[in-house]
Amino acid sequence: MDILLAAVRDAIKNSASLAYLQGANVIDDELLPPEEIGWPQVGVKDDGLDNEPKEFQKGTEILRVRVTAYQSVLLATPGASVMGEASLGDRGKGTLLIAKDLKTLLHKNKLGLSGYYLARLKKIEASRTIF
């Protein structure tokens, strides 16, 4: 799992299409993004391991990773953290557009890891505010 988390984090950090992010880090808790990095940023966290995959996948493990986009709620326009604030350029992208950029980068991307046979996006959860 540690190799996968590092690979996802590094893919995000090194992506030209995500250069507007202030950081991408492995995090301990989705409710506690590192504020000192700035906004927007992405957190990468382990989301479990499944040792009982479907019958046709015997002998494999399914590793799940949660990738969370964070944007400041202190943007001038109400709802801008979700919808974006154009006056800030790419740094003002809302979480919906950040999630779209992350999906483009990560869906079906095995990140060059040997022994990994499939990579897919399972779902994008609804936006929420954290304090």
Tens place of pLDDT per residue across the chain (131 aa): 999 999 999 999 999 999 999 999 999 999 999 989 999 999 999 999 887 666 666 677 889 999 999 998 888 888 999 999 999 999 999 999 999 999 999 999 999 999 888 898 888 888 888 87
Cβ atoms 68, 8 nearer than 8 A: no
DSSP 69: E
Amino acid at 82: V
Residue 118 lies in a domain: no
Structural domain span for residue 29: 2-106
Q: Which two tokens stand for residue 91?
A: 């740094």
d(CA 42, CA 22): 8
Residue 121 lies in a domain: no
pTM attached to this predicted model: 0.90
d(CA 73, CA 81): 5
Number of domains in the chain: 1
Residues near 28 by Cβ (< 8 Å), separated by ≥ 6? 45
Residue 123 lies in a domain: no
Cβ atoms 79, 67 nearer than 8 A: no
Residue 124 lies in a domain: no
pLDDT digits (tens, 9 = 90+) for 74-96: 888 889 999 999 999 999 999 99
